[in-house]
Amino acid sequence: MKLVVIKFGGTSLADNENLKIAAKKTISFLEENDRVVVITSAQGKTTDELLWQAKELSKEPNKRELDMLLSTGEQMSCAKFAILLNEMGYKATSLTGWQTGIFTDSNYTQAKIENIYTNRIWKLLETNKIVVIAGYQGIDKEQNITTLGRDGSDTTATAIAAALEQDKCYIFTDTDGIYDKDPHKYKYAKKIDEISYDEMEKLIQNGAKVLHDRCVKIARKYGVEIIVTSPTSKESGSIVK
């Protein structure tokens, strides 16, 4: 079985038009592979909006309840994405973090993944369904919903790829790769075609927000190559390896 794991960031899913572009990209992967697993971030600024709403009610929201709230952004995007794929004629099922079998510690808002049980993913894949997983979230041993920290959907993606024993993970964002500077701010920012895990971690430590830090740590530990690109780009993107 040829399988590919892909992840779409919030800007790639910001509205219905972007959802359609992401869906077509997913279908193109399905045409080249037997099975596809998709991880979704919350749409656009949804997480920021939910956080703002929580802080209207409390200056320091209870972290357990905050995770309960913030996790709904990814749940909404993965459900909408599955609805769209089904409408386009492709069988798809959406799963929350806990439905997927992602277990974490209880460090609310900054939880770390401890284990992933992949049985349900494989069962769905065997029925020729595209599996759409809500990123950024899991469940602890007390069955409380947890979140992995901002941009944690990247970590979900590489962790799922590793758990499914895949050596690649595609992460789609609002740039066509990794740059030495923010290409939205610096006209002459240079694209990096290939970068090591160590070099990528240094970029993150220096303020680059291309990938979640634990995403790279997991990728290095399990030998997962990360391909960063845009869903609309015809270029090859950047490879973290």
CB atoms within 10 A of CB 238: 23
Q: What is the pLDDT of residue 239?
A: 96
List, as one string, the DSSP characters of the chain: --EEEEEE-GGGGSSHHHHHHHHHHHHHHHHHSSEEEEEEPPSTTHHHHHHHHHHHH-SS--HHHHHHHHHHHHHHHHHHHHHHHHHTT--EEEE-HHHHTEEE-S-TTS--EEEE--HHHHHHHHTTPEEEEE-SEEE-TT--EEE--TTTHHHHHHHHHHHTT-SEEEEE-SSSSEESS-TTT-TTPPEESEE-HHHHHHHHHTT--SS-HHHHHHHHHHT-EEEEE-TT--S--EEE-
pTM listed for this prediction: 0.95
For residues 41 and 173, give the distance between their C-alpha atoms in angstroms, rounded to a whole number. 10
The string of pLDDT tens digits covering residues 98-131 is 999 999 999 999 999 999 999 999 999 999 999 9
Distance CA 166, CA 54 (A): 38
Say whether pLDDT at 184 is over 90. no
As a whole number, the mean pLDDT across the chain is 94
At 120 the pLDDT is 97
Backbone angles phi, psi at 103, to 5 degrees: -105, 135
Q: What pLDDT does residue 204 have?
A: 84
User: For residues 121 and 126, what is the distance between their CA atoms, to the nearest angstrom?
Assistant: 9
How sure is the predictor about 182, in pLDDT bands with cuts at 50, 70 and 90? Answer: confident
For residues 68, 71, 75, 81, the Cα torsion angle rounded to the nearest 10 degrees is 170
Separation CA 129–CA 233 (nearest Å): 26
More confident residue, 190 or 117: 117
Return the minimum-mean-pLDDT range out of 11-20, 195-204, 215-224.
195-204
Domains of the chain from N-terminus onward? 3-240 (3.40.1160.10)
Burial (CB < 10 A; 0-12, 13-18, 19+), residue 117, is exposed
Res 236 pLDDT > 90: no
